[in-house]
């Protein structure tokens, strides 16, 4: 796989729903900090319970997410992203990410993700939209002393 140029990184980001509304100035600034990483077939991007520092965007190939016990949770394809949950929760990875084929990913560090959200609140709203679309309801902790 060839390395991505700045323009290609920006174009990849543009196709991801999180960044779809950003203009070229912002996309190029973010693309400058996005690293491209290749994972060979059968490589793990990360394992469950590992410390988390980055989130990932799939440029080519696909990634399977596996639970801590090794069961398949879902398969992600080009344009999907993963690994951001632990960046927000400051907890270790709750799942493993496995590449069944050669896969090209873009990665963003926690610091950069936070900076992007501070500068472009639309990214935070996109995160919320994606999360709420995936949840039928917001899990609410039951009252401990409910009568």
**Interface with other proteins includes 145 (CB under 8 A)?**
no
**Interface with other proteins includes 20 (CB under 8 A)?**
yes
Q: With contacts defined by CB under 8 A, name the span among 21-29, 69-77, 126-134, 138-146 that binds other proteins.
A: 21-29
CB closer to other proteins, 38 vs 130: 38
> At closest approach, how far in Å is the CB of 63 from other proteins?
11
Considering only residues 82 through 141, tell me which ones interact with other proteins, judged by CB under 8 A: 93, 104-105, 107, 109-112, 115-116, 118-119
Angle at CA 120, nearest 5°, toward 35 and 34? 5
**Interface with other proteins includes 12 (CB under 8 A)?**
no
Long-range Cβ contacts of 4-11 (<8 Å, 24+ apart): 4/36, 4/59, 4/104, 4/106, 6/31, 6/32, 7/31, 9/34, 9/36, 9/106
Give CA–CA dist 101/103, Å, rounded.
6
Which residue from 18, 19, 46, 63 is in contact with other proteins, where contact means CB under 8 A?
A: 46
Identify the helix (H) or strand (E) that includes residue 122: helix 121-134
> At closest approach, how far in Å is the CB of 39 from other proteins?
4
Give CA–CA dist 109/31, Å, rounded.
12
Q: With contacts defined by CB under 8 A, name the span among 5-13, 60-68, 70-78, 123-131 that binds other proteins.
A: 5-13
Which residue from 19, 54, 76, 82 is in contact with other proteins, where contact means CB under 8 A?
A: 54
Both structure tokens of 108: 């963003």
């Amino acid at each position: 796989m060839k390395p991505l140029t700045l323009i290609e990184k920006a174009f990849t980001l543009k196709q991801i729903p999180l960044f779809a509304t950003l203009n070229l100035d912002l996309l190029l600034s973010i693309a400058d900090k996005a690293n491209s990483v290749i994972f060979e077939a059968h490589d793990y991007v990360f394992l469950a319970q590992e410390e988390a520092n980055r989130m990932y965007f799939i440029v080519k190939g696909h990634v399977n997410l596996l639970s801590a016990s090794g069961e398949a949770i879902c398969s992600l394809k080009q344009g999907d992203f993963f690994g951001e949950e632990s960046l927000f929760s400051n907890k270790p990875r709750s799942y493993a990410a496995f590449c069944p084929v050669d896969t090209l990913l873009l990665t963003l560090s926690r610091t950069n993700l936070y900076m992007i959200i501070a500068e472009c609140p639309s990214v935070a709203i996109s995160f919320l939209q994606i999360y709420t679309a995936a949840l039928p309801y917001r899990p609410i902790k039951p009252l401990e002393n409910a009568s």
